[in-house]
Amino acid sequence: MDANQDSLENPFSMDEACTNCPTLCETRANIAHGYGDVGGEFLFVGESPGPGADEAGIPFVGDSAGERLQYVLGELGFSRSPPDATEPDLQNVFLTYLTRCRHPERPPTDDEIGTCEPYLNAEIRMINPEIIVPVGQRPLEALAVEYTTRRPDSFDVDEEHATTIRGRGFELIPMVELDRQTDDRTEAFVEHVKTSVFGRDYRQTKGRRGR
């Protein structure tokens, strides 16, 4: 981790009492801002917190979907804690969402994603990752607008799962939604990163800090 990072949880000190989406303020338990290594070369972006993340205030923990992702991070050497940890010990990876608050009965609206967009943009700008992993169709489409030359509606996360897409300054490796993933798809993602990403020099030269 960067020497100046004091905490993995919300290391950029984003507003923990945000009231920009009044409806979500009524339904959330906690705001789940980004979590992880601010110098990480990998950034995972989900759609919105699940029940475990909402309870803990930490992305991708506390439920079966979160445990699946934490298993992946452990297999890739990004996590030094068990998959059921609620405060995972991460290195070289940062976890975040399009929206940071949970509604238990519906996905986030387009307006809510737009309202949260400055948080995500700030994290991406400050972390400047090499690889971005959109977890699900909606994050894939949202990131495609900014970081690829393809139309967002040309992407299908089921077809793009565990493949590498060249972006503008980043590479994207889409992942099917965690609650729809089979064990085979999980292992396919791990294998792709190990063989096709770790097996070559994936680092871009654009805008990177020295390591």
Residue 208 pLDDT > 60, yes or no? no
Indicate the pLDDT class of residue 144, thresholds 50, 70 and 90.
confident
Boundaries of every domain in the chain: 32-197
Per CATH, the number for 32-197 is 3.40.470.10
Read out DSSP for the chain? --TT---SBSTT---TT--SSHHHHHH-SS----EE-TT-SEEEEESS--HHHHHHTSTT-SSHHHHHHHHHHHHTTSB-S-TT-SS--B-SEEEEES-SS--TTSPPPHHHHHHHHHHHHHHHHHH--SEEEEBSHHHHHHHHHHH-SS-GGG--HHHHTT--EE-SSSEE--B--GGG--HHHHHHHHHHIIIIITTS-----TTPPP-
pTM over 0.85: yes
The tens digit of pLDDT for each residue in 13-52 reads: 999 999 999 999 999 999 999 999 999 999 999 999 999 9
